[in-house]
């Protein structure tokens, strides 16, 4: 502090020796302490300390009040930087004592410092314009601009270092600050952590396409898809009943039917009563036919059916996903009269839910359409971006079509028309 005070003393000597002394210093006021005396330096040091203290209070006011509590919670729980995590925990602990309490203490400390500064400067400089100019300049530069600029940049680190000091001042000024803080809480309300609405979160995600750790388009699409599941009804994504391939319980599983089932590409089929395509009795899983010999020509009713759950079209996608996660079924019949025949309007599968989550259609090897509602033809992309890191191997030789053997049968395969399976062998639900 001595060198800066010495420079200030030289400045004061030049000021008081200048021709403008008559109006920057009152003629009838004498200096209480001669410049350069021990008492003068004592008051100048105290003045400098008060300026620095004012800067600390001003910087902490901006730095701590500018920290979002939700952001602090995120840093305190999930920050990969241990120092940043510890700083966030200390500041969060302080702010949870009362945001208005912290604010009142910092403002009270700043006011006390700024009001005390002219007392010591007047004692050292004797008052007048010189004391006003010097105190104002010192407060603006060293007590305002510099500390606040630094606090905006390093608010978390500075707030963490000064948290014990602020906490001590909170208890010291509690008789004055605490009632004022409680009054502010009553009038303005307690400052709670700000949370984002779903629409705000979606916009928030868009801003993270660029930056230190940018999000990929697929990541943003998946996060947006998850946010929409709770507000999207299953009726909007189900496969209409007219497009659902079903089996009648009296259908004979011969060679032609079994091969048609395998060629369809589906792994499970809703089964209905004979002559009543909207009265479903269960679900036939194709894996139950693995050891079946089509030469036996048994009816579908011979096999044990899996449960075919029904749900109202008003349930949301999250409810359907929660049910699928139980493992009881991966296909859900959507009906306007669940539990009673005749109300079926469509089906929804686990794959449909996954497609909504990733916001893209999953096209497997047997899909003819990307979307059962829009009837867009399936397109299998092989661009460099999609195929990166993946190698496809294809055999150059293929078995002759006449020698093809059904997967589930060792018996000869009769001739049939593959294109007619959906119309002649498997039942197509009536259009609603």
User: Looking at the structure, do residues 33 and 103 belong to the same domain, yes or no?
Assistant: yes
Domain boundary among 215, 231, 247: 231
User: Looking at the structure, do residues 163 and 238 belong to the same domain, yes or no?
Assistant: no
User: Looking at the structure, do residues 332 and 369 belong to the same domain, yes or no?
Assistant: yes
167 inside domain = yes
14 inside domain = yes
Determine the distance from the C-alpha atom of residue 55 to the mean position of all C-alpha atoms in its chain, rounded to a whole number: 37
User: Looking at the structure, do residues 160 and 139 belong to the same domain, yes or no?
Assistant: yes
User: Looking at the structure, do residues 203 and 323 belong to the same domain, yes or no?
Assistant: no
pLDDT average per 10 residues of sequence, the chain (432 residues)? 42 42 44 65 82 88 87 87 91 90 92 81 66 77 84 88 92 92 87 76 86 85 90 92 92 92 89 92 90 91 92 92 90 91 92 89 63 55 51 49 39 38 43 46
For 326, the domain range is 234-428
User: Looking at the structure, do residues 154 and 175 belong to the same domain, yes or no?
Assistant: yes
76 inside domain = yes
Domain boundary among 161, 188, 215: 188
Residue 221: CB partners within 8 Å, gap ≥ 6?
358, 359, 360
User: Looking at the structure, do residues 146 and 226 belong to the same domain, yes or no?
Assistant: no
User: Looking at the structure, do residues 314 and 337 belong to the same domain, yes or no?
Assistant: yes
400 inside domain = yes
Burial class (CB in 10 A: 0-12, 13-18, 19+), 153: exposed
pLDDT at residue number 186: 87
User: Looking at the structure, do residues 149 and 39 belong to the same domain, yes or no?
Assistant: yes
pLDDT at residue number 344: 93
User: Looking at the structure, do residues 78 and 179 belong to the same domain, yes or no?
Assistant: yes
pLDDT at residue number 298: 93
134 inside domain = yes
**In 3D, which of 188, 17, 8, 15 has the Cα closest to residue 101?**
188
Domain boundary among 131, 156, 188: 188
pTM over 0.85: no
Q: How many domains does the chain have?
A: 3
User: Looking at the structure, do residues 42 and 175 belong to the same domain, yes or no?
Assistant: yes
351 inside domain = yes
Q: How far apart are CA 249 and CA 270, in angstroms?
A: 10
User: Looking at the structure, do residues 249 and 221 belong to the same domain, yes or no?
Assistant: no
193 inside domain = no
Q: What is the CATH number of the domain that holds 411?
A: 3.10.580.10
């Amino acid at each position: 502090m001595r060198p800066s005070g010495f420079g200030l003393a030289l400045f004061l000597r030049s000021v008081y020796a200048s021709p403008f002394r008559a109006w920057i210093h009152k003629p009838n006021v004498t200096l209480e302490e001669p410049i350069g005396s021990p008492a003068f330096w004592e008051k100048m040091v105290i003045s400098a300390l008060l300026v620095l203290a004012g800067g600390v209070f001003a910087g902490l006011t901006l730095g701590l009040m500018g920290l979002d509590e939700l952001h602090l919670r995120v840093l305190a729980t999930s920050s990969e930087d241990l120092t940043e995590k510890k700083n966030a925990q200390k500041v969060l602990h302080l702010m949870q004592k009362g945001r208005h309490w912290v604010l009142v203490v910092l403002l009270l400390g700043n006011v006390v410092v700024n009001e005390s500064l002219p007392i010591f400067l007047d004692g050292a400089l004797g008052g007048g314009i010189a004391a006003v100019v010097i105190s104002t300049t010192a407060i603006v530069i060293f007590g305002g601009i510099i500390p606040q600029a630094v606090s905006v940049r390093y608010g978390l680190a500075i707030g963490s270092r000064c948290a014990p000091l602020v906490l001590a001042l909170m208890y010291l000024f509690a008789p004055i600050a605490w009632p004022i803080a409680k009054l502010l809480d009553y009038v303005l309300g307690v400052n709670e952590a700000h949370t984002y609405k779903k629409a705000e979160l979606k916009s928030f995600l868009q801003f993270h396409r660029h930056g230190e750790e940018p999000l990929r388009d697929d990541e943003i699409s998946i996060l947006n898809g998850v946010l929409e599941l709770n507000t999207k009804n299953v009726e909007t994504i189900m496969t209409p009943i007219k497009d659902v391939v079903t089996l009648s319980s009296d259908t004979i599983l011969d060679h032609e039917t079994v091969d048609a089932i395998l060629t369809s590409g589906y792994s499970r089929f809703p089964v209905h009563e004979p002559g009543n395509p909207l009265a479903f009795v269960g679900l036939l899983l194709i894996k139950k036919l693995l050891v079946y010999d089509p030469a036996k020509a048994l009816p579908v009713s011979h096999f044990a059916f899996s449960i075919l759950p029904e749900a109202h079209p008003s349930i949301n996608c999250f409810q359907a996903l929660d049910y699928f996660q139980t493992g009881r079924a991966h296909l859900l019949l959507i009906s306007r009269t669940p539990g009673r025949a005749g109300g079926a309007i469509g089906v929804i599968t686990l794959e449909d839910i996954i497609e909504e989550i990733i916001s893209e259609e999953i096209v497997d090897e047997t899909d003819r359409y990307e979307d059962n509602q829009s009837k867009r033809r399936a397109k299998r992309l092989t661009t460099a971006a999609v195929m990166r890191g993946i190698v496809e191997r294809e055999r150059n030789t293929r078995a002759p079509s006449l020698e093809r053997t059904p997967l589930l049968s060792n018996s000869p395969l009769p001739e049939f028309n593959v294109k007619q399976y959906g119309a002649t062998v498997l039942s197509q639900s009536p259009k609603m």
